[in-house]
Amino acid sequence: MTATVRGPAIEVAGLFKSYRSKVGEQLVLDGVDLVVPVGTITALLGPNGAGKTTTVGVLSTLLRADAGAVRVAGHDVAREADAVRAAIGVTGQVTAVDDLLTGAENLRLMADLHHLGRAAGRRRTAELLERFGLTEAAGKPVAAWSGGMKRKLDLAMTLVGAPSVVFLDEPTTGLDPRSRRTLWDEVRALVAEGTTILLTTQYLEEADRLADSVAVLHGGRVVAEGTPAQLKEVHDAGTLDDVFLALTEPPAGTSGTAPGSTTEKEDVR
Residue ranges in contact with ligand ADP by CB under 6 A: 19, 21, 26, 28, 46, 48-54
Tell me the closest approach of the beta carbon of residue 34 to Mg ion, in angstroms: 16
Q: How many CB atoms lie within 10 A of CB 154?
A: 21
Tell me the closest approach of the beta carbon of residue 219 to ligand ADP, in angstroms: 12
Tell me the closest approach of the beta carbon of residue 51 to ligand ADP, in angstroms: 4
Tell me the closest approach of the beta carbon of residue 53 to Mg ion, in angstroms: 3
x/- mask, Mg ion, residues 70-99, rule CB under 5 A, reads ------------------------------
In the bound state with Mg ion, the residue whose beta carbon lies nearer, of 53 and 257, is 53
Q: Which residues contact 77 (CB under 8 A, 6 or more apart)?
A: 58, 59, 61, 65, 70, 71, 84
In the bound state with Mg ion, the residue whose beta carbon lies nearer, of 52 and 71, is 52
The residue from 40, 42, 53, 248 that contacts Mg ion (CB under 5 A) is 53
Q: Which residue stretch of 49-57, 81-89, 101-109, 191-199 sits at the interface with Mg ion (rule: CB under 5 A)?
A: 49-57
Please classify residue 202 by burial: count the beta carbons closer than 10 Å to its beta carbon, then call 0-12 exposed, 13-18 middle and 19+ buried.
middle
By CB under 5 A, residue 42 contacts Mg ion: no
Tell me the closest approach of the beta carbon of residue 65 to Mg ion, in angstroms: 17
In the bound state with Mg ion, the residue whose beta carbon lies nearer, of 173 and 227, is 173
Q: What is the DSSP string of 4-57?
A: PPPS-SEEEEEEEEEEEETTEEEEEEEEEEEEE-TT-EEEEE--TTSSHHHHHH
The residues that touch Mg ion, with contacts defined as CB under 5 A, are 52-53
